Amino acid sequence: MQPSYGSIDRSDDGDGDDPSSSSSSEASSNEPEASIHYSPAPTPPTSLRDSFASKRPRSLTIQRKAELFDEQAAAADMIGELLAAAAESEEAGDPEAKEKARAADDFLRKSLHLGPPAAAAATAGGVGAGVGGGMTPPLEMDAGEADTIRRSMRASRRVSMSPVRRASSSGALYGSWEAGDLKPRSVLCKVVTMLLVAVGGMVGVLALFALGQMVVGPPNQPVGGYTLLELQEGEQFFDYYNFYAGSDSAGSNGYITYVSKERATELGIARVETEPVPEDERPDGAPVVGDDDDDDDDGAATGGLDVAEDVRRELGANKQEEEQQQQNWSDDGNETFVYLSSAPTEEGPRESVRLEGKRRFNRGLFIMDLRHMPAGCGSWPAFWLTDEANWPVNGEIDIVEGVSYQSVAKTALHSTKGCTMDDVPNGVKTGTWDTSVGIPDKKTGIPDMTFRYAQDCYVYDPHQWLNQGCVAVDLEGDSLGQPLNDKGGGVYALEWDPINRHMRTWVFTPHRRVPPNLMDAIRTAGKEGEERIAPDPNEWGLPYGYFPIGDETSCPSGHFRNMRLVINLAFCGSVAGNRYFLDCPKQFKEHKTCNEWIKSNPKELEEAYWKIRGVYVYEREWEKKWV
């Protein structure tokens, strides 16, 4: 289907602020002087100054200057804590503890090649007296360097400071301070804290390990088996959809008017009916509704079963396979179907239905089990996924789409530029690609008869028909339209799996050819717990359509996102209408346009209806285990 066109905003605001410019401006505003000088305290007998005089290079980088100040800041904090401990010991009247603290202070100063204690430095006076006294020779720097170092030192000091000291020092690079400003912290406490943090981290890691093992891949990705998300059957079928009311989109331009649920119910074009299961589809021992006479002359009750047995023997099916090939029929031999059709109007456009799903998808497994689909000249039914408000930006996936008398199933993807099917592996599908031949040249109008496969999903690809997309084609045939209906319908399935980097599509017709696992999944979808069998597409055989998407493919998965299911029935329009003279030559002789044909309300349109057993939507389990 082709909804109204969307657009892509590719604007990119690439302007950004230069961090260096903001840093320079801040430095110039906060530091009026061109440089900062730190005056030395009286020279100690052994200090860092002596070693600097002989070993320091002529020019220090900003990084090295910052490192020196950080080292000194950390040392100053350690000494300050020792002095604070000494002061408290003195207040407590413990001279022995005080002497031990002062001895530790002297030892630290000698080990770090620092100047005399703060008290001695303070008596000497001068700028930098206090903790800074005797720390280093003066370091000259410009305003920008000073601002850079200030930022680094403030961060470093706040990490090492106690809360009291940290709160009082926010406005100064290095101010004088007293021992009482700090709360003493034991080195042992720091070590214990570090050990507790390490142990806590290990416990956290072990807790994650205890959850189990996770497959390789990003966290919170759907990587498990499939679980049922939506069971669309019977009276609950319409609970999963909204009825769109109004004209068709400008892109599709179908000759119909979609109606509300109330109007559709009134017209009988959206209804649920309960019917007996056909006798030739019943397992052995199933009740025959409405006919208890097994000896009826026409042999309907037993003859159908005999025919079915002959078919099964020819196929070599065993008893278990026979049961798996049965539809989800109830104990009384009945099953329910959803009917969707259309009704004529005096004005011409038919009243029809368009169901739009209530849930949005970015992946999933979508299955439709049907017994009849719309067919006939001018009909255009579809079961598809799209985000019509953002088309084609968010893409479109046509799971089932019929046009007039077409009899071969196709799956088409429609996208913006940059999604092609150039890297499909060998041996992964049974179908082929649709072709693009005879497209008129834009300048000359002469048809280009160059043979090409339709492998570009871009809706405006110049070498394909407008909005053709990349189209996979089933090679077996009789899998769509009237031939499908003649065989009692079939099952369609789409696996949209960007994690495993592909989309895959299957069609199985008649129902006896549905794989056992898929039939079991449909048959038990309404059950709970272990009685419900999960579908496994890997057990269904090769798909007819295979589309590589995702990482390391030529079609990023972002081309298809935020889509919802749509089931609709249109007539004529941009596809069936444009092909009318090709697909319906008999009708074309009498009615020159598709719209005229539909307006005549031909009896043929009685075959244009959906008869759906159910739609089943699955999603992969969200793996919650970790490696």
Mapping DSSP to helix (H, G, I), strand (E, B) and coil, where does residue 390 land? helix
CA angle, 310 as apex, 305 and 315 as ends, to 5°?
125
Neighbours of 232 (CB within 10 A): 24
Write the CB contacts of 440 (distance below 8 Å, at least 6 apart in sequence).
Answer: 446, 447, 448
Q: How far apart are CA 449 and CA 113, in angstroms?
A: 89
The total number of residues shown for the chain amounts to: 627
State how far the alpha carbon of 575 is from the alpha carbons of 170, 408, 423, in Å.
Answer: 73, 16, 29
Q: How far apart are CA 260 and CA 621, in angstroms?
A: 35
Structure tokens of 168?
Answer: 């009082």
Q: How far apart are CA 243 and CA 567, in angstroms?
A: 10
**Residues recognised as catalytic:** 396, 401
Cα of first residue to Cα of last residue in the chain, in angstroms, is 44
Q: How far apart are CA 521 and CA 604, in angstroms?
A: 35
Q: What is the dihedral of CA 480, 486, 491, 492, to 10 degrees?
A: 10
Q: How far apart are CA 323 and CA 364, in angstroms?
A: 27
- Identify the H or E element spanning 232: strand 222-232
Q: How far apart are CA 146 and CA 20, in angstroms?
A: 14
